[in-house]
A and B are shown apart, each in its own frame.
Chain A
Amino acid sequence: MEAAVFFVGAAIILTGAIGVIVARNPVHSALLLVQTLFGVAVLFVNLDAHFLAAVQVIVYAGAIVILFLFVIMLLGVDSAENLDVEPIAGQRPLAAVAWAGIVGMLLTVVLVTADELTGRPSSTGELDPTKPDVNQIGEFLFTKYAFAFEITALLLTIAVIGAVVMSRRASGDLAPVPPDALAGRADNGVVGGEAEEVPA
């Protein structure tokens, strides 16, 4: 049963992942990303990590991909990209060599050491398969990893403030530069003459 679920999940993940990188339209890429993330959630359930599977669907497939789609719609960059043009000569053959290197090394490590995976069992804490995993994760988050947990809260606050600051349009902000106005300009400054007075 576990094997059957694994192979179905693996097929979902791999087709979705390949779809993300070959789709011409960014919206299709985002939707295929949902497929991949959902497949990973299926494998998390297969590995008895039910809490992480739920968080995976809620946070990744729910929040993060919606954010991606929102930005795609906001910027209007949902036009199809021409994938036939290679901007840097030889980029794709070199990328194929790099891919072969990465996948070759990783699979060699995994397959050669398949029978002798190392690591000390239960070095952080024992995972009891009979207890719900949300209890065990919560126990460690609020005892041994309480400091790291608080720091992630701080990190999220900083990220939110940073996003607001970056995407805010300041009063003296520069107007968008049309693509054809960029050619031959020394500074990509304000279009149409003088810069506005920035109130102090």
Chain B
Amino acid sequence: MTLGTEWYLGLSALLFSIGAIGLLIRRNPLVMFMCVELMLNAVNLTFVALSRDLNDVGGELAVFFVLVVAAAEVVVGLGLIVAIMRRRPGATADDISVLKG
């Protein structure tokens, strides 16, 4: 039995909203970063599901590029977090709200 695309789209909607709520309620910058990864994965799932539904290779290519950009984003973001945490150990997102290093 083949499952309809809407199941995958519904699951990725749930995954995206869980990532979004995590970004809103957590204060640890690392956990907030993980929530961004959850949202990126929800979008990747949508791309692949619609790629199969529309019989189009473009969706899978988009996922490939999202993976590369996510890797670059994690490298830069974690570099920033290390630089901030070195100055202020135990900083949360609220402590670094003034962007003063």
Chain A residues at the B interface, C-beta cutoff of 8 Å: 1-3, 6, 10, 13-14, 17-18, 20-21, 23, 26, 29-30, 33, 36-37, 40, 43-44, 47-49, 51-52, 55-56, 59-60, 63-64, 67-68, 71-72, 74-77, 81, 87-88, 91-92, 94-96, 98-99, 102-103, 106-107, 110-111, 114, 117, 119-127, 133, 136-137, 140-141, 145, 148, 152, 155-156, 158-160, 162-163, 166-167, 169, 174, 176-179, 182, 188
If A14-B15, A52-B48, A179-B88 touch, whether A91 touches B24 (CB-CB below 8 Å) is yes
Give the distance in Å from the alpha carbon of A99 to the alpha carbon of B70 in the complex.
24
Please give, as numbers and ranges, the residues of chain B lying within 8 Å of A124 by CB-CB distance. Answer: 56-58, 61
Please give, as numbers and ranges, the residues of chain B lying within 8 Å of A75 by CB-CB distance. Answer: 81-82, 85, 89
Please give, as numbers and ranges, the residues of chain B lying within 8 Å of A10 by CB-CB distance. Answer: 11
Residue interface bits B27-68, CB-to-A below 8 A is 1, else 0: 110110111011001001100111111111110110111011
Closest 3 CB pairs of A and B: A124-B58, A21-B22, A106-B13
Chain B residue with minimal CB distance to A173? B86
Residue interface bits B71-86, CB-to-A below 8 A is 1, else 0: 1111110111111011
Closest approach, in angstroms, between the C-beta of A6 and any C-beta of chain B?
5
Closest approach, in angstroms, between the C-beta of A172 and any C-beta of chain B?
14
Closest approach, in angstroms, between the C-beta of B22 and any C-beta of chain A?
3
Give the distance in Å from the alpha carbon of A98 to the alpha carbon of B25 in the complex.
11
If A37-B41, A77-B90, A111-B6 touch, whether A64 touches B56 (CB-CB below 8 Å) is no
Interface size class of B (residues with CB under 8 A): 35 or more
B89–A176 CB distance below 8 A: yes
The CB with the most chain B CB atoms within 10 A, among A2, A17, A48, A92, is that of: A17
Please give, as numbers and ranges, the residues of chain A lying within 8 Å of B44 by CB-CB distance. Answer: 40, 52, 56
Give the distance in Å from the alpha carbon of A12 to the alpha carbon of B1 in the complex.
21
Having A99-B20, A166-B83, one finds 13 other A-B pairs with CB under 8 Å, namely A30-B30, A49-B48, A55-B64, A55-B67, A71-B81, A81-B28, A99-B21, A107-B14, A114-B4, A114-B6, A124-B61, A148-B65, A159-B72
